[in-house]
Amino acid sequence: MSFAELFGREPHGRWAAPGRVNLIGEHVDYARGLCLPFAIAQRTVVEVATRDDSRVRLASLAEPGGFDGTLDDIGSGSPAGWAGYAAGVLWALRADGHAVGGVDLLVTDTVPLGAGLSSSAALECSTAVAVDELFGLGLDRRVLAAACQRAENDIVGAATGGMDQAASLLAKAGHALLLDTRDGATRQVPFAPADAGLGLLVIDTRVRHRLADGRYGARRASVEKAAAALRLPSLREATLDQVDTLDGELRPRARHVVTEIVRVRETVKLLADGRIDEIGPLLDASHTSLAGDFEVSCAELDLAVSTARGAGALGARLTGGGFGGSAIALVPLAAVDAVASAVRAAFAREDLRSPEIRTAEPSAGAARESLHGPGTAERVDRLQDEIAALPVVDPRSPDGMLGYDEHGLPGPAGRSR
Ligand code: GAF
């Protein structure tokens, strides 16, 4: 079914936004922490045409359901299902006072669903760049990322942080995005495993999770409770000594957040220094902390991680929200096939569904895919320039790695929101 068959006219353009893999910095984006995601090659693609009225029609070739209503029908929990992610973006931009009208929108392709690769953020972000361009809003990508996050928080009802949306909108190929969620500052960190003879395997356990279910929200609530108990604005400001004073489960939960932020800093230092092959132990430690202190792993993720390590991975960890979804493993290129086979064999031995295993390449953020229609090539160029202008951590620059700045990031920080 094509856009024309569905809506009786041609779309005004096609936009695509990638999913993400988080290299490290897990469950810290709602604690004002640091995370280090990168965009993957898999994309969600939307075809969109504006309307003269306030009607909103949403359909998908990838999933059943959709929406046919008006802008005023969009609100908390409405529409339900996948359509809430796209409609929520329209709602959030309107709530900010932007002149957004009705649209017809067809999702033609999607990041693998439920694999922990952020298909939901990819849908939000592809919708956001389309709407931004079609209605001539001219918004900074950080503003779009914030609108996408509110779509997810307020319309879908998932209390997620902003990491996934920032990665999908601000990522640059060959780099990971260092994001300081305290103020939105970003830095592009060179990350090209293949250049170092390494592959980054993404092992989808095919255990499906939903962030809107209670477990993600419960972790977030514990993190906020721990900060309140310490009388701090967030756990970003906490020390391990302070964490040790916490009671019950708040102590391990907070310990994960505080130690994970340190691991992000150490990973960035190694990457900026060209020592990518030394980050394995940090990935391993992140998984141990997520499984033990934060309790967001599951048997399948643990099996994928331990098997990958045993078969030659330099390091491995769950990525994303956990409770299923995907694990990542950093593997010498020569061992990629052996590691993938070992993981498949281990799953078969346990009578588990065969995992989906891919190699991830750090890829570019959201962009228009076709240039026909009312958008202009200049505007596309400007958006690409915006991303290209984000500061890169460059170990060769004289001030590139001299200590930490006020964000706790190495070198000069990116422009803040
Ligand atoms: C999910 C959320 F959407 C992110 O905001 C982040 O909290 C992540 O889980 C865990 O790091 O992807």
Nearest protein Cα to ligand 1, atom 5: 161
Instruction: Encode pLDDT of 120-150 as tens digits.
Output: 999 999 999 999 999 999 999 999 999 999 9
399, part of any domain: no
Best of 38, 111, 164, 264 to mutate for ligand 1, by most ligand atoms within 8 A of CB?
164
Residues 354 and 216 in one domain: yes
From the CA of 158, give the closest atom in ligand 1. Answer: 3
What is the rounded distance in angstroms from the CA atom of residue 144 to the CA atom of residue 147?
Answer: 5
Is the pLDDT at 216 greater than 70? The verdict is yes
Confidence of residue 397 (pLDDT cuts 50, 70, 90): very low
284, part of any domain: yes
Residues 299 and 352 in one domain: yes
Residues 178 and 288 in one domain: no
270, part of any domain: yes
Instruction: Encode pLDDT of 6-58 as tens digits.
Output: 999 999 999 999 999 999 999 999 999 999 999 999 999 999 999 999 999 99
Active site residues: 164
From the CA of 321, give the closest atom in ligand 1. Answer: 9
From the CA of 35, give the closest atom in ligand 1. Answer: 11
Residues 13 and 77 in one domain: yes
161, part of any domain: yes
Task: Note down the domain range covering 207.
Answer: 193-360
Residues 30 and 63 in one domain: yes
Cβ–Cβ under 8 Å, residues 304 and 203: yes
Q: Which residues line ligand 1 (CB under 6 A)?
A: 22, 26-27, 29-30, 118, 160-161, 163-164, 211, 320-321
CATH code, domain with 242: 3.30.70.890
Residues 41 and 186 in one domain: yes
Residues 130 and 200 in one domain: no
Best of 177, 211, 317 to mutate for ligand 1, by most ligand atoms within 8 A of CB?
211
413, part of any domain: no
Torsion of CA 202, 203, 205, 208, to 10 degrees: 10
Nearest protein Cα to ligand 1, atom 9: 321
195-221 mean pLDDT: 90
Strands (E), 141-247: 175-180, 185-190, 198-204
The number of folded domains in the chain is 2
Residues 372 and 223 in one domain: no
Q: Which amino acid is at 29?
A: D
pLDDT score recorded for residue 386: 67
Return the minimum-mean-pLDDT range out of 4-8, 63-67, 210-214, 393-397.
393-397
Residues 381 and 310 in one domain: no
CATH code, domain with 36: 3.30.230.10
